Structure 1
Amino acid sequence: MAEISNTDKPVLVLLHGWGVNRGVWQTILADIVPTVQVIALDIPGFGEAQPLLQSGNFSTVVTELASRIPANSLVCGWSMGGLLAIALAERYPEKVRQLALVAATPCFLQHADWPGMKATVMQQFAQSLQRDLSQTVSRFLAIQAMGSATAKSDAAVLKQAIAAYPQASAEALSAGLAFLSNEDLRQCFAGLKQPVIGCFGALDSLVPVAVVSELQKLQPDAELSVLAKASHAPFISHRMEFLAWLNNWLTAAVIAQQ
């Protein structure tokens, strides 16, 4: 994690998704606008972040992340990181000035009134974790790129990006699947007072694009964008389009703070 320097620049906090670590952001860091200071965090149990004794407790993980985030941060969460970012914004509003979601939703599991992942898919991942942790993560990375025109190379880039840091612990991976399966933060999301923006992929097989209209109902003022040919990792498959989206948000946020 980058240390917070003595600067008046607004802080952008990046939160990664399940099965990976802060290394996933490596390919875009150099091109993020210089008017912000960037902190890419490892979620407890992932990368170099130490697992918590109660790593399976969602609230404990949220509290730990809040302790590492400065006040008035611009928080951008991808996938599971977005779920945690929503909880941070709701429970620690002084920490989150604005919220950006990347292929993320307050409820990842499919319900009768909500598009999402089928419970059977979650169960299959949980079962396969017990058999072969490494193969399960590799399979998950491949699914994240599914649908993209550059799916094979996208998955390879994701795998290479996270290889610079320690592999997630089995406990953290299991806890993360539990978060994705059990947490339903739709009411929390609807009640957020911070400005919300989002970037989604029309070809995403994990967070279906149908969720965007549902999110808009919960947060009518949210600015939600869809990249027509992107899947679950738009910052990898559509780097330039993603950077344009991210930097436009950051530039406006910096101006608003001045």
Structure 2
Amino acid sequence: MSPLIEVTDLVVRYGDHTAVDRVSFTVDEGETLALIGESGCGKSSTALAALALRRPDSGSVRFAGQELTGLREKQLRPLRAQFQPVFQDPYGSLGPRTTIGDAIAEPLRVHRRPLEGRVAELMDLVGLDTSYADRLPHELSGGQCQRAGIARALALGPRLLVLDEPVSALDPSVRAGILNLLTELQERLGLGYLFICHDMALVRHAAHRVAVMSDGRIVETGPVRELFTEPRHPYTRELLDIEAGAHP
């Protein structure tokens, strides 16, 4: 069976700066690949290219066997339903003047999907009381807003979620609940996750495999247990030392 998403020799440049330098990875259905590294290493640029929101300078992005690079926006639009983002800032991603219900319904309207009962179904799926549908984001907690963001990402029935630091803006007490929700949704729906993260402690519990990124390149990839117990690259060992210092 082919990977859900297959990125090969991806290059993304901004002027003279190469943000992503020949990056390759795959994510299978039902799998979480964590892409981890410090701020500025190229993780988010990789995520944008994987979502076909930024055209790479070279390389290949294939989703379910279909090449995305080179497709025009009109050709990409029906495919976008299958891979959706969840952003870092739960408040900003929803829109301050848009009710929670309308935010969740937006992708259904854009793609002309049936609305009846769907918003309530999605809210229930992510553990969000349907009475919040008429509220604005500032009336909810950060964790509740992130649940709404996840519900919106699931509205079109995607096969892959790109999770860009999905819990880093939340209080530590709330993070575990969101991570548990993501695990439950993956098991229930068979979702693949590309999990963008800078925190090794989160990766230890949230991912199946890890790709370590530094200066635009993936320097090491492996199963979580193997990478944590037998890191091969000095940068991976450095990240683990930082985690050990933060969590003695």
Greater per-residue strand proportion: 2
- Normalising by structure 2, report the TM-score: 0.31
Greater per-residue helix proportion: 1
Q: Larger radius of gyration, structure 1 or 2?
A: 2
The structure showing larger relative contact order (alpha-carbon pairs under 8 Å, at least 6 residues apart) is 2
